[in-house]
Amino acid sequence: MHEVQEKKEKKPIILSGIQPTGIFTLGNYIGAIRNWVQLQEDYDTAYMIADLHALTVRQDPKVLRENILRAYAVILACGVDPEKSLTFIQSQVPEHAQLSWILSCNTQFGELSRMTQFKDKSAKHADNINAGLFTYPSLMAADILLYQADLVPVGADQSQHLELTRDIATRFNGLYGNTFKLPQGYYPKVGARVMSLADPTKKMSKSDENQNAFITILDEPGTIVKKFKRAVTDSEMSVRYAEGKDGINNLMSIYSSVTGLTYEQIEHDFAGKGYGDFKQAVGEAVAEELRPVRENYKRLREDKAYLEACYRAGAEKASHVARRTLQKVYKKCGLIL
């Protein structure tokens, strides 16, 4: 992606994005952003704040603007390095919207209607089932294909969109000649699926009405420990990973993710101890894991000039890369450059 790097060594390109809807949770950190930091050492990485996608749901402009800036600052605070990774805000790179329209014209209505997230979000926002909510998989395809990504980190809820992206790219390549690289899914070996502290059968979500159900990246240590103390467990009182112990399984998974300990080591360390001791330990470990993130975030938000310089430079670099793909698409479609 970066010309100098390409001459030395062509690394596989990985692209990922995250929507700026509220403060990111511990689940976002363990499942995605922490992996982004590790990936930038071995891959040519591109990370974006997917703010255009957030518009499928009605937003308060002032709140959205704050969420975008906060999201950008948080990923830098977590360790994403603008010198190593292409790090940008989606709406500042107009090529995303431009390619999205062309891909929408090469996406079938039936394909979009089968998207499970459209069905889910339509049910949640019955008063605002807009066209963007229906066609946003085409925008997601544009996000990926613009950068000729080799790999896209995907969870179970995103695999359907990646398959559609590959189908759209294959269709376009078949009609107009080889244009887009077909991206593969990247499935991280680390990064457990973090579940709700209030209902461990559900994924942890920042939109949960129960504030005790999730930990945010920016929560204070005391708040983190308090929430873990309130986490739902079972009546058995033994710290062990087993079927039917969803609450303890979730806490063990989180503890393992932030300490590096195996389940066997955790069971050994807490043999004969109650859930209270274990919850305290998990809370303290998570608070310590997130401490540098909180400190870096505070410093970044206070240095507005540096933050703005980063996202504007990122947008310029991203646009330079994206424009190469878009110009190729325009030419093949018969549009005048």
Query: Do 146 and 248 sit in the same domain of this protein?
Result: no
224/240 same-domain check:
yes
| Two structure tokens written together for 10 | 């062509």
Kindly state the average pLDDT of the residues 254-269.
Answer: 95
More confident residue, 231 or 7: 231
Indicate which CATH number applies to the domain containing 84.
Answer: 3.40.50.620
At 6, the amino acid letter reads: E
Question: What is residue 7's predicted lDDT score, i.e. its pLDDT?
Answer: 47
Are both 12 and 101 inside the same structural domain?
yes
Residue 222 counted as domain residue = yes
The mean-pLDDT minimum among 90-94, 189-193, 273-277, 300-304 falls in: 189-193
**68-91 average pLDDT score:** 97
**Comparison of pLDDT for 158 and 330, the residue scoring more:** 330
216 and 122 in a common domain: no
Number of compact structural domains in the chain: 2
Separation between Cα atoms, residue 93 and residue 115, nearest integer Å: 26
Is there a domain that residue 329 lies in? yes
Claim to verify: residue 147 and residue 66 sit in the same structural domain: yes
Pair 173, 220 in one domain: no
266 membership: H or E segment, kind and range: helix 263-269
Mean pLDDT of 293-321: 97
DSSP 184: E
Q: Which of 159-163, 287-291, 303-307, 320-324 has the lowest mean pLDDT?
A: 159-163
Is the Cβ–Cβ distance between 224 and 286 less than 8 Å?
yes
Give SS3 for 290. helix
The tokens describing 250, both together, are 């979730």
Residue 201: inside a domain: no
Task: Judge whether 279 counts as a catalytic residue.
Answer: no
Q: Is residue 146 part of a domain?
A: yes
Query: Quick one: which of 42, 45, 36 has its CA closest to 14?
Result: 45
Q: Are residues 126 and 267 in the same domain?
A: no
Please tell me the distance from the alpha carbon of residue 252 to that of residue 242, in angstroms, as a whole number: 11
More confident residue, 305 or 155: 305
- Establish if 320 belongs to a structural domain: yes
Q: Which two tokens stand for residue 262?
A: 């195996």
Q: Which of 84, 206, 273, 328 is catalytic?
A: 206
Do 76 and 143 belong to one domain?
yes
11 is catalytic: no
C-alpha to C-alpha distances, 337 to 29, 331, 332, nearest whole angstrom: 41, 7, 11
CA distance 261 to 263: 7
Flag whether pLDDT at 6 surpasses 50. no
Q: Using CB atoms within 10 A of its CB, is residue 147 exposed (0-12), middle (13-18) or buried (19+)?
A: buried
Backbone torsions φ then ψ of 266, nearest 5 degrees: -65, -45
Residue 183 lies in a domain: yes
User: Whole-model pTM?
Assistant: 0.90
Q: Does residue 121 carry a catalytic annotation?
A: yes
> Does residue 308 share a domain with residue 264?
no
Do 107 and 54 share a domain, yes or no? yes
How far is Cα 199 from Cα 90, in angstroms, rounded to an integer? 33
CA distance 239 to 282: 12
Residue 114 tokens read as 């089968």
In the prediction, which pLDDT does 189 show?
64
Return all residues near 337 (Cβ < 8 A) that are at least 6 apart: 327, 330, 331
Structural domain span for residue 253: 211-297
pLDDT tens string 187-220: 866 556 899 999 999 999 888 889 999 999 999 9
| CATH number of residue 242's parent domain | 1.10.240.10
Instruction: Round to whole Å and give the CA distance between 319 and 41.
Output: 23
Which residue has 């995250």 as its token pair? Answer: 18
Are residues 103 and 32 both part of a single domain?
yes
pLDDT at 192: 64
In a domain, 205, yes or no: no
Which amino acid, residue 123?
A
CB atoms within 10 A of CB 134: 18
> What letter does residue 81 receive in the DSSP assignment?
-
Tens digits of residue pLDDT in 176-186:
999 999 999 99
User: Domain check: are 224 and 311 in the same one?
Assistant: no
Residue 267 lies in a domain: yes
- Quote helix, strand, coil % in the chain, to nearest 5: 55, 10, 35
Average of per-residue pLDDT across 21-44: 92
